[in-house]
Amino acid sequence: MAYWITINYDRNEYVIDLDRLSAFACAPNGKITFWLPNSAHPIILNQQSDPEGYQQVLDYVQKVSAHSLIGSWVQVNYDRKDYLIDLNRISSFCHSPSGKLTFWLPDCAIPIIINEQKDPDTYQKILEFIKRKTGYLLS
């Protein structure tokens, strides 16, 4: 189901289906970043640049976050940002002998590296998702 919004960014008007986005990054300063599908083009919104568009994206992120416990969305604190990521859109995972779990955001190629010692809950959620989705158990 499509969730279309319009936003103004960089003197252009965009019409975007938020349901097609794979990740959102929320910075401590209130900026929300997402990447347009199939382009790696980042959109960075803040309250001052486009208040209406910003609020629509924020509402969507909060809605998805509330349902993330039962779905494929996971919250990850990485590199001083809170990411909300749809694991269904991730196409590869790397598990190193040191226990690090790495995956890449599909529309921007940013690597997300999760360490079991620093974030055990998210680490386990991702391992459980991988097992449920692929049948493979990473250890």
pTM: 0.89
pLDDT of residue 53: 94
The whole-angstrom separation of Cα 137 and Cα 1 is 32
The whole-angstrom separation of Cα 7 and Cα 18 is 11
Whether the pLDDT of residue 138 is over 90: the answer is no
Rg from Cα positions in the chain = 15
Whether the pLDDT of residue 70 is over 60: the answer is no
85-105 residue pLDDT tens: 999 999 999 999 998 999 999
pLDDT of residue 68: 63
CB 82 within 8 A of CB 32: no
Domains of the chain: 4-66 (2.40.50)
First to last CA, the chain: 36
Mean pLDDT over residues 1-28, rounded? 92
Mean pLDDT over residues 53-79, rounded? 85
Whether the pLDDT of residue 1 is over 70: the answer is no
